[in-house]
Amino acid sequence: MKVCVLGLRGLPQVMGGVETHCEQLFPLMKNLNPRDSFTIIARKAYLPRQLSSYQGLKIVSLPHAHGKHLETITNTANGVLYARFRLHAELLHLHGIGPALLAPVAKALGMKVIVTYHSRNYEHRKWNFLARSVLRIGELCTVTFADRVIVVSQCLAASLKQRFPWAAARISFIPNGATHLIAFKWENRFDDDVLARYGLEDKKYIISVGRLVPEKGFHDLCQAFKAAHIAYKLVIVGAADHADKYAARLLGQASDTIIFSGFVAHDVLERLLQSASLFVLPSYNEGLPIAALEAAVARVPVLMSDIEPNRELGFQPENYFRVGDVDELRHKIMQEHERYHVNRDMIVGKYDWNLVAAETAKIYATLQTDAGRRETRSNARSMSLKHRIFAAGFGAITATGADRCLRFVARGRGVILMFHHVRPWRTREFAPNRVLEITPEFLDGVLTELRREGFDVIPLDAVVDKLRLEPSRRPFAVLTFDDGYRDNLEHASPVLRQHNAPWTLFVTTDFLDGRGRLWWLELEEAIARLDRVVFSRNGGLVDLASRTTIEKHAAFEAVYGHLRARPEEGLQAVADLAAQAGVRPNRLTTECCLCWDEVQILAREPEVSIGAHTLSHPILAKCQATTVAREIAESKSLLERRLGRPVRHLAYPFGDPSAVGLREFRLARQAGYATAMISRPGHVFPEHLAHLHALPRVSMNGLFQDRKALRALLSGVPFWIRNRGRIVTIDR
Ligand SMILES: [Zn+2]
């Protein structure tokens, strides 16, 4: 495979965490995969020679604009074109979320893309508002377009997965390494000239390492050091990338006791670390601090700010001070430095570059196409690409303000929202049904946002009148919950009560009886447990590996797609897989769904209305007309009989165009329902009075539990764009 690496200043011996990372990682990657070629794109300003090589890597130095805002992006843009048209690279490995802005271009040019996420650059203080917004878009490009995302710190990986659950399967944590300093032979390098050059004495100075940028917090360290009046010197190793005010102010503090060494070569840094009495890292923002790992390996006591990536190194509480707390830092550097000793063996064992390279190579391997599985894989990819494009679309709609400008045409009279599960967040890699699940906190957020945006939350019964009467200034919102899950009672109902919000629960009567099959949940649980998924399809046998999360998603899509196309065969396949995996279908139904008693109690609450969702939750369009008529009419009469009140509304199971059509709309009308809901997304307009048995709903999708997506959905703009301005999208 031809690999091109982008986003760093250059290597070897170029200052910076990303640069050290690449300098250590890629020679090892070359060793592991000698047949692959690795080309590193460097920047002219740091490596003036155009072509060189280093430990089997080819290094190409490309031009770029100057200045902190444009340097990275112009160099990366050059690099992407070079990679595609000169190098014919198959894989682009981008470092950092700034360079990841070019990920969509790389994908469009047909290359595979890996992004290593080193830190939340948009929190860096050196950037202004615009640069921060652009970097946030870079983060969005990372999760949307990269085939794989590698994150160097565990807490950053967890946060990324939580914020972008739809991308979680592609995000992996692989730390930085620390073992590169061990390779040097310490005893041969006792060069006291180095200390003399900076006027230092053994164990008589404090050291800190990093670029002279605000987020490294060196200003705090200088202030604390000056206030401490101790018999040590302070050495800050590192240079400024760009001559700016911050760096100038910092360098202005240089004195006999505060020394700025500028950038130094690796061996000089090691010598300086080795004789230091204490290493301090006062930073406000890190990915995974290589400088601290280097200090630990050099056996220097370590003191660092208590930001999460620093705490992730797992040192004793003694080794940390509150970030930005100059007084605590002053107090701590006045103590005996020996007390800040760290467990070097733990660091060496945990942060081994060989392990980092092996893990990274595994990720490369998953990108090599396996022709035998191309079909299901492309299926899984297109699914997730759809979600990725949605997310990017929501981001773009709110970022451009389209939700504000267009909502008056797109919002209609209001919106009917569709919910399924409401329950606390659970971290799971393989959760294909996550779309159906939101947290109680997000439900609370939805209700708050509705109020903030001026929506009236009304009962479903009031919709027809709202459409008939003169438009009011305030749009309406209706809350509907499908299937009859117990978590609606446990987690949704308290939140809804707090907001005095009326809601409708659409129940499937078989589920209330503890019969019925939640086959999509059976399938998820079965595939989660199985290593191989074998089922028959159209007379042949399909045999899929199901070990990794990606494979499991592909297998799920394959069985799910088959079931939607041929329900009888598919249901049998799910039943067989569930039996193989030891999943008991009835247990899922009784565990997840409400029983009759509970629904009877809910039905008595004034804010709750119960609607029908058929007897057995079939894909109606695939059933005989007599079955459809029975499913629609008998669920209504059964509910009315058992609950002792009229049931006026119906939600069709699945509700998309392949599951429900004109025949079902007619039967629902004939059965006496006032309205019936589909799940094709859209807002509600007066035109829908002629289509009351096909009212669109907007699903509160568990993959997009954030305010941006919510604002876009409530504006109606995504559906308006998708339907190219048409309001009623069903066929007559
Ligand atoms: Zn349903």
Please report the pLDDT score of residue 680 as a whole number: 87
Q: Is pLDDT at 242 greater than 90 in this prediction?
A: no
Asked if 20 and 180 count as a contact pair (C-beta separation under 8 A), the reply is yes
Q: What is the mean pLDDT of residues 606-623?
A: 95
Please report the pLDDT score of residue 482 as a whole number: 97
Q: What is the mean pLDDT of residues 495-513?
A: 96
| 589 Cα–ligand 1 center, Å | 13
Most confident of 367-376, 506-515, 552-561, 697-706: 506-515
| 628 Cα–ligand 1 center, Å | 15
Please report the pLDDT score of residue 370 as a whole number: 36
Selection from 396, 383, 387 nearest residue 144 by Cα? 387
Q: Is pLDDT at 294 greater than 80 in this prediction?
A: yes
Domains, in order of start, for the chain:
2-177+356-368 (3.40.50.2000), 182-349 (3.40.50.2000), 412-514+593-707 (3.20.20.370), 520-578 (no CATH)
| 504 Cα–ligand 1 center, Å | 13
What is the DSSP track for 520-570?
HHHHHHHHHH-SEEEEEETTEEEEEE-SSHHHHHHHHHHHHHHHHHSHHHH
Q: What is the mean pLDDT of residues 605-630?
A: 95
Q: What is the mean pLDDT of residues 250-267?
A: 90
Q: Is pLDDT at 375 greater than 50 in this prediction?
A: no
The residue ranking higher by pLDDT, 444 or 189, is 444
| 397 Cα–ligand 1 center, Å | 29
Q: What is the mean pLDDT of residues 132-156?
A: 91
| 678 Cα–ligand 1 center, Å | 11
Rounded to 5°, the CA angle 426-427-429 comes to 130
Selection from 575, 564, 552, 655 nearest residue 611 by Cα? 655
| 247 Cα–ligand 1 center, Å | 60
Q: What is the mean pLDDT of residues 160-182?
A: 85
Instruction: Say how many CA atoms lie within 13 Å of 458 toward its Cβ.
Output: 19
Name the CA dihedral angle for 373, 374, 375, 378, rounded to a multiple of 10 degrees. 120
What CA–CA distance (Å, rounded) separates 167 from 146? 10
Please report the pLDDT score of residue 384 as a whole number: 59
Which of 394-408, 479-493, 574-588, 624-638 bottoms out in mean pLDDT, i.e. has the lowest?
394-408
| 110 Cα–ligand 1 center, Å | 39
Please report the pLDDT score of residue 730 as a whole number: 61
Please report the pLDDT score of residue 184 as a whole number: 54
Helices (H), 423-468: 440-452, 463-468
Output the average pLDDT for the chain: 88
Please report the pLDDT score of residue 729 as a whole number: 62
Please report the pLDDT score of residue 717 as a whole number: 83
For 28-78, what is each residue's pLDDT tens digit?
Answer: 999 988 889 999 999 999 888 888 899 999 999 999 998 878 999 999 999
pTM: 0.57
| 508 Cα–ligand 1 center, Å | 8
The residue ranking higher by pLDDT, 261 or 549, is 261
Q: Is pLDDT at 376 greater than 60 in this prediction?
A: no
Confidence of residue 110 (pLDDT cuts 50, 70, 90): confident
Please report the pLDDT score of residue 188 as a whole number: 46
Q: Is pLDDT at 189 greater than 80 in this prediction?
A: no
Please report the pLDDT score of residue 167 as a whole number: 84
Q: Is pLDDT at 379 greater than 50 in this prediction?
A: no
Q: What is the mean pLDDT of residues 200-227?
A: 94
| 485 Cα–ligand 1 center, Å | 10
| 680 Cα–ligand 1 center, Å | 13
| 407 Cα–ligand 1 center, Å | 29
Please report the pLDDT score of residue 117 as a whole number: 95
